[in-house]
Amino acid sequence: MPSPHSGYAPVNGIRMYYEIHGQGGTPLVLLHGGGSTIDVTFGKVLPHFARHRAVIALEEQGHGRSSDRAAPVRFDTSADDVAALLDYLDVSQAHLFGFSNGASVAMQVALRHPGKVRKLVYASSMTRKDGVPAEFWQSMQKVDFVDMPQPLKDAFLKVNPDPQKLLSMFHKDAERMQQFEDVPDVQVRSIKAPTLILSGDRDLVKPEHAVELSRLIAGARLAILPGAHGEYLGEALAYRQGSRAPEHTAGLVEEFLDA
C-alpha cells in the first residue's frame, strides 16, 4: 500500500486539509462527524478501506487542520467545499461516506452536485428534527463548551494546538445544530445515487427514521447495526477496545460499493 499523501486545497476561501490513502477504483470520500477530526471518526475503519481503494479523507471548515472563514458552518456550504476539493484533485466522481454531521454534508453534495456522487453511504444522521428525540434539541439550545467531550477537544488540539480555534469551532458547530432545518422529503426522494443507510440500534437517530429514509430514497439499502452512535465504525467516543465492528462495517460498506 502506498504511503498516505496529505495537503491543503484552496477552496471557497479556506485551506481545506485532506489526506489520500490507498489507490485504485472510484475514490471513497470520508466526511467526519461534527466537532471531530478524520481520526476521531474514521481512524479505526479507514485502514480497512485503504487496502482495496483510494480513500480521500478531509476536515471540514474550521475543524482540525482546515482553516475557517468569516461565515457560519452550514451543511450546504460544506458540501460546496467538498465539491470544490474534488475539482481541485481532478476527481470527476466519487463515493461519499458521511457520518453524523458528515452524512448531512454528504447528502447536500448528492443534492447540489449529483454528478459527482457515484454512491452514497449515509450514516447516523437525520433529515428532519423528528428523526432524533426531542431531548436532543432541548439540550442543544443550552449546550456549553464544558459539555464538549474531552477526547474531541484533545483530538482537535493534537492537530491544531490553538485553544481559540477550538472554541470557535465548537460555537460554530453548536450554532449550526441550533439552526438545523429539515430537508424536505421531496428533496430526499430526488437523490439518484445508490444509497446505503447505516445506523446503530442504540444510536442518537431513531431506527424508525433510518427505515423511513431507506424508503424515501429509491432503491436504498439499510443496515441497522449493534451499538451506539458511531460504535459500528469504532468512532473515538464509542469504540470498545478489541472490537471487530470497524472491520465488519468496512466489509459491509465495501460490498455495497463494489456491487
pLDDT at 96 over 70: yes
Say if CB 107 and CB 82 are below 8 A apart: no
State the average pLDDT over residues 72-83. Answer: 98
pLDDT at 190 over 70: yes
pLDDT at 2 over 80: no
pLDDT at 37 over 90: yes
State the average pLDDT over residues 125-138. Answer: 97
Q: How confident is the model at residue 3 (pLDDT cuts 50, 70, 90)?
A: confident
pLDDT at 182: 98
Query: What type of residue sits at position 258?
Result: D
| Averaged pLDDT of the chain | 97
What are the domain boundaries of the chain?
5-258
Q: How confident is the model at residue 1 (pLDDT cuts 50, 70, 90)?
A: low
pLDDT at 101: 98
Dist CA 115 CA 96 (whole Å): 12
The grid cell for 202 is 442504540
The architecture of the domain spanning 5-258 is 3-Layer(aba) Sandwich (3.40)
Dist CA 176 CA 72 (whole Å): 7
State the average pLDDT over residues 125-149. Answer: 97
Measure CA 23 to chain center: 21
The CA–CA distances, whole Å, from 66 to 38, 89, 123, 178, 208 equal 11, 16, 23, 23, 35
pLDDT above 90 covers a percentage of the chain that reads 98
The grid cell for 1 is 500500500
- From 205, 117, 178, 152, select the one nearest 37 (Cα to Cα): 152
pTM above 0.85, yes or no: yes
The CA–CA distances, whole Å, from 113 to 11, 80, 127, 194 equal 15, 8, 18, 15
